[in-house]
A and B are shown apart, each in its own frame.
Chain A
Amino acid sequence: MRANRSITFKLVLIITVFSSLIFTATIGYFYHRSCGVLQRELEKNARNIVLASVNRVEMELSSIGKVAEGVVCSLETGNYHEESLNTLLKNTLGGNKEIYGVGSAFEPNEAAIEAVPVVPYFYRKNGRLISAAEEDFQFLTLDWYQIPKELGKRVWSEPYFDEGSGEMLMTSCSIPFYEGTGDHRHFRGVVVADVSLGWLTDIVASIKVLKTGYSFLLSRNGTIVTHPDTGMIMNETIFSLAESRNNPILRDIGRKMIHGDSGFIPYTDTRGIKSWMYYAPILSAGWTLAVVFPEAELFAEVRSLTMMVGVMGLVGIMLLAAAVALISRSITAPLHALADATEVIAAGDFDAELPQVRSRDEVGKLTRSFIAMTIALKEYIRNLTETTAAKERIESELKVATDIQASLLPRIFPAFPDRPEFDIFASMDPAKEVGGDFYDFFFIDDTNLCFLIADVADKGVPAALYMMVAKTLLKSEGQRLGEPDLILASVNNILAADNDSCMFTTVFCAILDTRTGDVRFSNAGHNPPLIIESSGIRYLTVKAGFVLGPMPDSDYETERLTLQPGDTLFLYTDGVTEAVNLSGELYGEPRLLTALQMSPKENLSEMIHSIRAQVTGHANGAPQSDDVTMVAVHYKGA
């Protein structure tokens, strides 16, 4: 599947994928690190903001606390009656604008102070100080009285809504005061200073972080005192929120908060927005101030920057892909053209137009090579066509020559059906179209049969031509002279006379007297023939004699032998014994001898064919290197 894709596609795919991976990894790391840095930066900021606000609140609270402390001091050291106490309270209230109301509640049944209202109290209304002393005031079980009494220390009450409008958030600083010292010290009552928490709400609300970041305040019990979601104020505690959201983590956070811890933690706010929160305690009141930063905003800039980089990278990768596509196209387009053109060339059209070479790069080189190749191919094919034509002509001529040569050799067997005293059979397989071997047999007179076998050195056309001459001469001289030695000597002289090419031929020439079985024979350098007698088969011992052709005036000797009826003379050329197989092994004379022993003796045709088959079998597919010629004469008796 992938192998089928184009180079352009593969390049674009691989480069895009890898550059995207590298880019994504880089941008991811960048984002992660940036967020980390930003978060640390933010934590520092958040801590500073919160601690600064906490300090402001603490200062306010402590200044109010000091005012109440002053009243306590006065009550513990001085001896106040109704009037003087009222004056003290009124003056205190008048001098401290941040205080909404101030009062002192006395433990009942105190004999020490007489005629003192149970709770002398002054508060501020429309700029006037109003006395609201209430005698039937069931304060004994109220938190602002009871808690400092039981704890014996200054206490800031849980924030509450004022009783008038019910909209102003208040808190009270109540401090117990005592009479006597040491073992005689006993509780006398509580000084209470009520403060509107408007200023606190303002401080908390003024803490603006990012766009939608906000802050909130928890009371000692985890009650939400200020929050941008006003529905929660004084209704929910951080624990009730945790419960209704089934969020135990929030509960744990809440517990840490009300226990006076501080920290910077991930926080899912009441609207389910992932945020970070820094919280720190307002120790004097036991409250907790927390600032919430929505994470989305916190990382908004990094996110948008990352987004921007991402978009840029994406565009970059797209451009890169386009560039890669363009370049690979510029590479592959000529390749395509080249491929198309070579396809046409492959189909045989060498005149096909190859693309223009414009560049000097590898593709240009390739194209130029292709052009050179096409030209060379064209030339080669032209040559080949010509050669082939010439060869075909020669071949057809050779075919004719083969036919002519074949027709020159006597091929009709039995050759002398009217002569029962002997039988003769011969065959010649040229190694090439035309051969240099030949055989012949003819009657010189009624009783003398001349038969010969010859092998012209070399093969092919020159040998064939030479063979033609030799054969013609041998026949004509044979018929004229009638004796083998004379025939050979005469033919040799004729051949040697104009033998510029120094060609030569071996000949074994014999004349059989059909009446007696006498054979006169003469050899001109040919292989000795075999004689098959009733006693066995043997190579005839013959004088070698000099080959015909190279040298004039050679002498040849006639030898004699007598064939008994049933004997056979077997003549052959070295094409038989020198036939080689693929491993270069010669067929050899011993094999021939054996083969002849095995072969049928009566039928010459079968004998020669069987030898031929043996030789072909030995060659075993190796090309025939020389003409294979055999002649057999079987004497049957007169």
Chain B
Amino acid sequence: MRKNYDERQKSFIRSCTMALLLMMVTVAIPVTAAETSLKKVSLIPLWSPQAQFAGYYMAAEKGIYARHGIDVTIMNGGPGHSASEYLLGGKADFAVLWLATALQHQSAGRRLVNVAQIIQRSSMMLVARKTSGISTPESMQGRKVGVWPGDLALPVQAFFTKYHLNVRIIPQSYTVNLFLCGGIDVASAMWYNEYHTIIDSGVNSDELELFFFKDHGITFPEDGLYTLEKNYRNDPAGAAAFTDASLEGWQYAFDHPDEAVMVVLRHMKTEHIPANRAHQKWMLDRMHDLILPPVGNKKMGQLNPSDFKSVGAELHRQGLIKTIPGFDDFTGRSDASK
């Protein structure tokens, strides 16, 4: 018995070594080949570096993009760098856009393809101080509500419509200072960002009344990865490589949160953006909640057809789009199946 076991073990080690060597050879060849001819692509996120985009930074940082044969340049989003404009203007190959934004572009004839739906649900919320007496959507009637301009206002409008609210809309800036000063009664906030900024400005969570849109039936899946349809048609494999690598980057970030936060902080520092670990950690943790499918064993990055439909319907109801595109066209599946 003993002898047999030893022999078996030896032969196992031998075969393992062989397999490893083979793997090294097979892996080494494409990598060296790819290094010489990495396909250069660019990505513009919605905003300047922060943990909201940790997956892409990690994919670049850890060589995941390179392993998929692409060399990705992550551009800086934010004020003056509209992701939509960069994508449509051809300055970027891929962009992080909200589903609602993409649907509007689609409706306007600018054909885009959703290669991945990263954030699965709405992370937007309205925040009020309990001392303001606002405890229900109805009690916002006539109050001053901070609303971001542009597509970020869409779910807020849907909320107002749902509850027949007629409020004093105050254009909200990138900070929550107006809310903190008491200049507005209700502020728009991203769960992963502004909400935590308010907390980190000394307001305790039990002093706040929160209105998550998702709790009020308003599901606006947010960040998705988009490319122009013509580019997608030209190089579907490249788009797939980018998508896979990005999702892998996200998985890596979730598996190594401390490292991911460190990398994000480094990018922020390079861009002279005020940053602190606690806030980015919070943001990455919330990304984890928002990105990983909440139920079932669905894969990361899939666009849920029902979400697609409800957003399309809401946009159509608000008169922002004339037609709702086909789900397969929108996600590029019609081509993949062809």
Contacts and interface: CB of A to CB of B under 8 A. Distances in A.
Interface string B150-185: 000000000000000000001111010110111110
B272 A166 contact: yes
A223 B200 CA distance: 9
A258 B274 contact: no
Interface string A237-270: 1111101100000010011001100000000000
B82 to A, nearest CB: 13
B202 interface: yes
A634 interface: no
A147 B183 contact: yes
B172 A141 contact: yes
Given A147-B178, A150-B184, A151-B182, A243 B200 contact: yes
A238 B203 CA distance: 12
Contacts of A143: 173, 175, 177-178
A30 interface: no
Nearest to A233: B274
A239 B199 contact: yes
B178 A237 contact: no
A237 B276 contact: yes
Contacts of B201: 221-223, 237, 239, 258
Given A142-B173, A143-B177, A220-B180, A258 B202 contact: yes
B277 interface: yes
Scoring A146, A220, A238 by chain B CB atoms within 10 A of each residue's CB, the highest score goes to A146
Nearest to A160: B274
Contacts of B199: 239
Nearest to A145: B173
Interface in A151-196: 151, 155, 157-158, 161, 166
A235 interface: yes
A138 B200 CA distance: 27
Contact of A254 (B172, B178, B202): B202
B184 A222 contact: no
Contact of B178 (A146, A222, A239, A240): A146
Interface in B79-119: none
Interface residue tally of chain A, by bracket? 20 to 34
Scoring B172, B173, B275 by chain A CB atoms within 10 A of each residue's CB, the highest score goes to B173
A468 B170 CA distance: 156
Contacts of A223: 201
A234 B178 contact: no
B311 to A, nearest CB: 26
A235 B275 contact: yes
B182 A240 contact: no
A251 B200 CA distance: 9
Interface residues of B, number: 28
B168 to A, nearest CB: 10
B177 A147 contact: yes
A243 to B, nearest CB: 4
Interface in B184-204: 184, 199-202, 204
Contact of A240 (B149, B171, B177, B276): B276
B173 A141 contact: yes
Contact of A161 (B171, B272, B278): B272
A397 interface: no
Contacts of B172: 141
Contact of B183 (A151, A236, A238, A254): A151
A237 B180 CA distance: 14
Contact of A222 (B181, B200, B277, B282): B200
A141 B188 CA distance: 14
Nearest to A153: B181
A255 B202 contact: yes
Interface in B3-51: none
Nearest to A243: B278
B188 to A, nearest CB: 12
Interface in A220-234: 220-223, 234
B288 interface: no
A155 B175 CA distance: 15
B143 interface: no
A237 to B, nearest CB: 5
Nearest to A245: B278
A240 B200 contact: yes
B144 interface: yes
B272 A151 contact: no
A6 B233 CA distance: 103
Scoring A143, A158, A234, A239 by chain B CB atoms within 10 A of each residue's CB, the highest score goes to A239
A155 B259 CA distance: 40
Nearest to B173: A141
Nearest to B279: A240
A140 interface: yes
Nearest to B201: A221
B281 interface: yes
Interface string B119-133: 000000000000000
B231 to A, nearest CB: 31
A611 to B, nearest CB: 106
Contacts of A158: 175, 177
A239 B202 contact: yes
A221 B177 contact: yes
A174 to B, nearest CB: 12
Interface in A451-480: none
Contacts of B181: 147, 150-151, 155, 220
A258 B181 CA distance: 12
B277 A244 contact: yes
A248 B295 CA distance: 34
Scoring A143, A155, A220, A222 by chain B CB atoms within 10 A of each residue's CB, the highest score goes to A143
Given A143-B177, A146-B178, A158-B177, A237 B183 contact: no
Contacts of B279: 240
A158 B277 CA distance: 21
Contacts of A151: 181-183
Interface string B273-299: 011111101100000000000000000
A109 to B, nearest CB: 15
A150 B171 contact: no
Contacts of B276: 235-237, 240-241, 244
Nearest to A238: B202
A147 B144 CA distance: 13
A515 to B, nearest CB: 130
A177 B175 CA distance: 23
B278 A244 contact: yes
A155 B180 CA distance: 13
Given A222-B200, A222-B201, A254-B202, A235 B173 contact: no
The 7 A-B pairs with the shortest beta carbon distances in the complex, nearest first, are A150-B183, A221-B201, A240-B278, A243-B278, A244-B278, A141-B173, A239-B200
5 contacts: A150-B170, A161-B272, A240-B276, A243-B282, A258-B201
Interface of A: 140-143, 146-147, 150-151, 155, 157-158, 161, 166, 220-223, 234-241, 243-244, 251, 254-255, 258-259
Given A141-B171, A143-B178, A146-B183, 14 more contacts: A147-B183, A150-B170, A166-B272, A220-B181, A222-B202, A234-B274, A236-B278, A237-B276, A239-B202, A240-B277, A240-B279, A241-B278, A244-B281, A255-B204
